[in-house]
Amino acid sequence: MIFSDFAPNETSKDAVLAIKYLFQPWRWRKGKEIHYLKRRFKSCFFSSDTQISLFMTGRTALYQYLSSLKLHTGDEVIVQAFTCEAVILPILAIGLRPIYVDIHSSDFSMNIQDLKNKYTPHAKAIIIQHTFGITPKDRKQLLEFAKTHKLQVIEDVAHGFDPNLFRLKRYTGAVLLSFGRSKSFSSVFGGAIAIRGIKAGKVLKETEKNLPNPSLFILIQILIYKIISVIIKATYAIQLGKGIHFMFKQFDLIMPEITKQEKNGQFNNAFLRTFPNIAAICMLAQLDRFNDVVNKRKKVSAFFDSELHVKTAHGLGLLRYPYLCNDPAKLQKKAIKQHIQLGQWYSQVVAPKEINLMAVGYTTGSCPIAESVSKHIINLPTAISIADAKRIIKVLK
């Protein structure tokens, strides 16, 4: 079975590691691996003067960073349409107002011209999203606009990013990362904020230090997911994996990526926790093979570019490869018969579909390109072999 969104990074090595630490609970909450992980991130992706703060989820990291800015109730945060609840709910939770800007259909990221049309002096921050891991084509202009209007910048690279982007060039503001189960590298739960300068990250460092650890049950869920996801993927095509997945969800042994509370448009305060040591252990293992995974994604993304006669990846290893078609549901059904599970980020302008758009402050018709794209988007997996990529192209054609 080929998956686009279910545990794309999990391997038998991750499962063996999780089994090993399942019997070492004294290392789950605190340990030296958290320090090692921060140091590793700086050496791989950022400058030496970067302050890394780790939290239980990416949405927690965004919530804490926005809180640290001491903005006033009603202040505006500029975001793009074609995004998810993990970006919007933290904004609403601290009394800020999201202002939705339309996207380009070529890179699925913010359109500078629409930003200029929708900007007001009430705006205090901007979130620049690197959708699917694609560097926004308007990034330079967006940063210049933010500088001119004194906007706090948050670059959302939860989907992935060019590994050299922040290491080789100076950056302003903050960089938001996510280590969720469907991201470029995963500890099942996790997120971070990277800020240049020790002084700038002082408030977040204190917040990170004082937050409680996740519950014992969540720590067990992390380890169980690492083990069971590998078994599910290996046996899904013969229905056994499907049954195992259903059973574990029924007994809440696998926490959903998006909780019922979040689908109802409410930020889940249960995620306001720090990053546990067991998650750092899992992340370090994934970073050990990060270059191999990125190279595989690059080759597959380039292959899709070539076969589909487009220029989408621009040499990057995309987390998922975006493909626009007339009938995504029909294509998904066709693919599943060939044991291929295609993804659909995002099926509406603020995903998932259960989200009430009025409740998150979105006005239908305000971002027509994003609305059109969300009706036609399908995601192709990239952490696969070229042989599997050829199978997918055959289904598309």
Over residues 354-384, the pLDDT tens digits come to 999 999 999 999 999 999 999 999 999 999 9
pLDDT for residue 198 is more than 70: no
Residue 380 host element (H or E): strand 377-381
Query: What tens digit of pLDDT does each residue of 199-251 get?
Result: 667 889 999 999 999 999 999 999 999 999 999 999 988 888 889 888 888 88
Tell me whether residue 165 is in a domain: yes
Decide if 227 is inside a domain: no
Assess whether pLDDT exceeds 90 at residue 387: yes
92 and 186 share one domain: yes
**Which CATH number fits the domain that encloses residue 181?**
3.40.640.10
Helix (H, G, I), strand (E, B) or coil at 123: strand
Gap between the Cα atoms of 175 and 154, Å rounded: 6
Rounded Cα–Cα distance for residues 76 and 97 (Å)? 5
User: What is the domain range of residue 114?
Assistant: 27-210
Q: Which comes out higher in pLDDT, residue 4 or 390?
A: 390
Tell me the residue ranges of DSSP E strands in 12-156: 50-55, 76-80, 83-84, 97-101, 123-129, 152-156
Q: Let me know whether 96 and 190 are in one domain.
A: yes
**Could you say which of 158, 187, 210 is where a domain stops?**
210
Q: Does any domain span residue 338?
A: yes
Q: What's the rounded Cα separation, in Å, for the pair 328 and 396?
A: 11
* Same domain assignment for residues 181 and 302: no
What is the average per-residue pLDDT within 180-197? 92
Residues 312 and 199 in one domain: no
The amino acid at residue 326 is N
Q: What is the mean pLDDT of residues 146-170?
A: 92
Comparing 254 with 301, the larger pLDDT belongs to 301
Decide: 320 and 132 in contact? Cβ < 8 Å: yes
Please give the order of strands across the beta sheet that includes 76-80. Answer: 50-55, 191-196, 174-178, 152-156, 123-129, 76-80, 97-101
Alpha-carbon gap, residue 79 to 142, rounded angstroms: 12
Give the pLDDT score at 269. Answer: 94
* pLDDT tens digits, one per residue of 53-79: 999 999 999 999 999 999 999 999 999
Residue 6 lies in a domain: no
CB neighbour burial string for 144-163, b if at least 16 within 10 angstroms, e if fewer: ebbeeeebbbbbbbbbbbbb
In a domain, 125, yes or no: yes
Q: Structure tokens of 174?
A: 């903050």
Q: 190 and 55 in one domain?
A: yes
Q: What is the pLDDT of residue 242?
A: 85
Both tokens of 60, joined, read 């927690």
Q: Two tokens at 312?
A: 């989408």
Predicted pLDDT at 211: 96
CA-based nearest residue to 146, from 127, 159, 132:
127
Non-local CB neighbours of 111 within 8 Å, separated by 6+ positions: 101, 102, 103, 104, 138, 369
Q: Residue 78's pLDDT is what?
A: 98
DSSP state, residue 271: G
Lowest mean pLDDT among 53-57, 74-78, 169-173, 182-186: 169-173
Q: What is the CATH number of the domain that holds 388?
A: 3.90.1150.10
Domains identified in the chain, total number: 2
What pLDDT score does 267 carry? 95
Residues 190 and 311 in one domain: no
Q: What percentage of the chain exceeds 70 in pLDDT?
A: 99
DSSP, res 110 = B
pLDDT of 130 strictly over 80: yes
pLDDT reading at 28 higher than 90:
yes
| 76 and 203 part of one domain | yes
Query: Which H or E element spans position 250?
Result: helix 240-250
pLDDT digits (tens, 9 = 90+) for 320-347: 999 999 999 999 999 999 999 999 999 9
> To the nearest whole number, what is the mean pLDDT of the chain?
94
The whole-number pLDDT of residue 244 equals 86
Could you say which of 210, 227, 250 is where a domain stops?
210
